[in-house]
Amino acid sequence: MRVLVTGASGLLGGAVARAVAAAGHEVRTFQRRPSGIPGIADSLGSVTDPPAVADAVRGMDAVVHLAAKVSLAGDPAEFERANVGGTRNMLAAASGLESGEPVRFVQVSSPSVAHSGASIMGDGALPADPGAARGDYARTKAEAELLALAADSARLSVVAIRPHLVWGPGDTQLVQRIVDRARSGRLPLLGHGAALIDTIYVDNAASAIVAALEHAPEVHGRSYVVTNGEPRPVAEMLAGICRAAGVTPPRVRIPASVARTAGSLIEAIWRVRPGLDEPPMTRFLAEQLSTSHWFDQRAVRADLRWQPSVSIDEGLRRLAESYAR
């Protein structure tokens, strides 16, 4: 297959592009800056630019759409343009492709599309709900997933994949923020840190997305949450990442209710006077750190015929090696 991967300059997008190529497919990437992946052709542009999208999609048999605005804060209109408008542009271009077989479209979504603040314990992919989603990122990703699934047809096989808390060496979104905050003493534990959370190592997330691409004709129209299937207490997971980076794990504890109230207040302030970096706490982040999030993986593993190949312990070992280098 000729496969377009968007957002390949990011950690997961780059891993997906390499994994798709390793599976024997011809890969083109599409993002605003070069992916830096040897042997893979880049098409530069923005998903918010329909002509650039059309040029990138032309001649492809499949699209894996990862490009998105990912942040805890920011201008709501920017989230709307990138996440909703960008997905709409990708779907329109993919729907217009001429192909003897249905065009495959993997929408890389997020479990936050179905998170309303309560614990998720053993559920599968709950319905995306923009009205209940926390924050502009989750809301617009929910809208984008619904758009994508609504476009599923005999000519366009759409699958939505929601990797949960992707991490690994080189991660600047999750790992580096945890490490930086722990190093500066700004990473508290909320409550007892006992809430169970699922995560997924980046190589496993990439291989799950490749499996969705290859099995799209059989599973189109569905959403799947993918994880390592090894839920661990949030305090244990944070400590593992910190030790891998050689920093002291968090020890200060804050009641979850206090963190949620503080998060709501900080969000309100950030909307008026945004800082240079991510806000130190938001209500969504406080909920994520204080509620359980682990998911039933039986359907995804059976339907996609996929298994994670890197355990959490092995992933932490690889992360420690990357910091040692």
Q: DSSP class of residue 184?
A: T
Q: What share of the chain is helix, strand, coil (3-state, %, to 5)?
A: 45, 15, 40
- Whether 323 sits among the annotated catalytic residues: the reply is no
Q: Which residue has the tokens 């040692």?
A: 324
Q: Backbone dihedral region of 74: left (phi > 0), alpha (psi from -120 to 50 degrees) or beta?
A: left
CB atoms within 10 A of CB 276: 4
Element (H, E) at 316: helix 312-324
Say which of 137, 201, 224, 323 is annotated catalytic: 137
Establish how many alpha carbons lie within 13 A of residue 239's alpha carbon, considering only the half-sphere containing its beta carbon: 10
Give the three-state DSSP class for 153: coil
Contact 242, 179 (CB under 8 A): yes
Q: What span, in angstroms and rounded, lies between the C-alpha atoms of 320 and 312?
A: 12
**If DSSP codes are grouped into helix, strand and coil, which group holds residue 311?**
coil
Which residues does 243 contact at the CB level (< 8 Å), separation at least 6? 249, 316, 320
> d(Cα 59, Cα 180) in Å, to the nearest integer?
43
Nearest to 144 by CA among 207, 217, 69, 205: 69
Q: Which helix (H) or strand (E) holds 123?
A: strand 120-123
Catalytic residues: 137
